[in-house]
Amino acid sequence: MDERLAALDVRLRELGGVLVAFSGGADSAFLLAAAVRALAAERVAAATAVSGSLPRRELADATAYAGSLGVRHLTPSTAEIERAGYRANAGDRCFFCKAELLDVLVPLAGSLGLPYVATGTNADDAVAGFRPGIQAAAERGAVTPLRDAGFTKAHVREASRRWGLRTWDKPAAACLSSRVAYGIAITPARLARVEAAETALRAALADAGVAVRDLRVRDLGDTASVEVDAAAVGEVSALPQVHAAVRGAGFSSSRVDPRGFRSGSMNEALLLESRAG
C-alpha cells in the first residue's frame, strides 16, 4: 500500500494539475484527496456534472465532501440526454455519457489553467470487460492516476480508511440511467420516476426499521425490480409498504429481486446475449 500511495503521489505531481471528474463515489473521492495532498490547492479542482441522471442526494454529498477538502467545486451542466446514442440505451450508453462529460470538462479544465481531466477509473475497471465509458474518456485525453498506480477498489477503500476519509465504505452509487433496462429509452421522466421510487423506498424502509446498505429500483418498463442487500431480501419482501412506495412513484407493478443487490446487474442480460451470439 505504501508503494502504491507513493506511486500515486509521483504520478499526480507529474501531471502538475488536475480537474477531477468527481462523482462523489469512493474512487473519485479518494483521487481528489490524493490530488490535494500531492499538489497545491490551486492546482486541483473538482467537477460534478449536473444532469437528470445524477441523484440529488449525491450532488449534496459531493458538495459537502469537496468543501471539507477546501477544493474548488464546480457543477457544470451536461446534456447527455440530447445524444441519440445515450437515449437509445443500448449496451454502449456509457460511451455517450462519458463523451459528453469529457467534452464539457476538457475545456473547463483549460479555462482553469489545469492541464488534465482525471477520472476515478481504477485497476479493476481496466480488466472488467466491455467498458465503453472508459474508451470514450481515453479518446478525449482523460488521465487515470488510480489505474496507473495499480489501485483496485479494495486498495482505494483501504487507503481511504487509513486517511480517515468518510467515503471509505460508501456504497456504490451509479447514475440513475444505470437503473433502466437496456433497450428502454432514457427520458427525463423515467429518470425522475426511478429517483422518486428510491427516495420513497428508503423512507418506507426507515419507517419500518429496516436498515439496508445498498438499494436500487431497476426500471424494467412498467415493472420495477427492487434490489436490496441479500440478507434483507426476505424482510423487505414481506413489507407491503415497499410495493406501495414504488408504485406510488409511477410504476404499475413491482417485485423484490430474490438474488439481492448486484452492482451492474443490468449488464447480466448483455453478457447472456454475447454468449448466445
Chain segment 225-245, per-residue pLDDT in tens: 999 999 999 999 999 999 999
Is the domain of 242 the same as that of 147? no
Q: Which of 90, 85, 261 is nearest to 173 (CA)?
A: 261
- Spatial separation of the C-alpha atoms in residues 84 and 91, rounded to whole Å: 13
Residue 271 pLDDT > 60: no
Q: Are 102 and 142 in contact (CB under 8 A)?
A: yes
Domain end (from 163, 185, 205): 163
Is the domain of 14 the same as that of 92? yes
Is the domain of 58 the same as that of 155? yes
- 171 inside domain: no
Model pTM greater than 0.85?
yes
Is the domain of 54 the same as that of 154? yes
Q: Are 89 and 221 in contact (CB under 8 A)?
A: no
The DSSP code for 178 is: G
Task: Identify the weakest region by mean pLDDT among 72-81, 108-117, 173-182, 258-267.
Answer: 258-267
CATH code of the domain containing 73: 3.40.50.620
Is the domain of 97 the same as that of 189? no
Q: Are 118 and 218 in contact (CB under 8 A)?
A: no
β partners of residue 216? 227
Is the domain of 61 the same as that of 108? yes
What cell was used for 84? 441519440
Residues 31-54 have a mean pLDDT of 95
Is the domain of 69 the same as that of 141? yes
What cell was used for 34? 490524493
Q: 157: helix, coil or strand?
A: helix
Residues 247-253 have a mean pLDDT of 96
Q: Are 243 and 237 in contact (CB under 8 A)?
A: no
Is the domain of 235 the same as that of 136? no
Instruction: Kindly indicate the confidence band of residue 269, based on its pLDDT and cuts at 50, 70 and 90.
Output: low
Provide the domain count of the chain: 2
Residue 274 pLDDT > 70: no
pLDDT of residue 57: 87
Residues 259-273 have a mean pLDDT of 64
Q: Give the ranges where 89-142 is alpha helix by DSSP (H).
A: 93-111, 132-139
Residue 44 pLDDT > 80: yes
Domain end (from 111, 139, 163): 163
Q: Which of 161, 268, 142, 261 is nearest to 201 (CA)?
A: 261
If you count them, how many residues does the chain have? Answer: 277
pLDDT of residue 267: 59
Cell 409498504 identifies what position?
A: 241
- 126 inside domain: yes
Distance of CA 44 to the CA centre of its chain: 21
Is the domain of 57 the same as that of 181? no
Residues spanned by the domain of 67: 2-163
- 93 inside domain: yes
pLDDT digits (tens, 9 = 90+) for 92-111: 999 999 999 999 999 999 99
- 169 inside domain: no
What cell was used for 272? 447472456
Is the domain of 121 the same as that of 219? no
Torsion sign, CA atoms 18, 19, 21, 24: positive
pLDDT of residue 202: 95
pLDDT of residue 173: 80
Q: 25: helix, coil or strand?
A: coil
Is the domain of 104 the same as that of 226? no
Is the domain of 85 the same as that of 134? yes
CATH code of the domain containing 180: 3.30.300
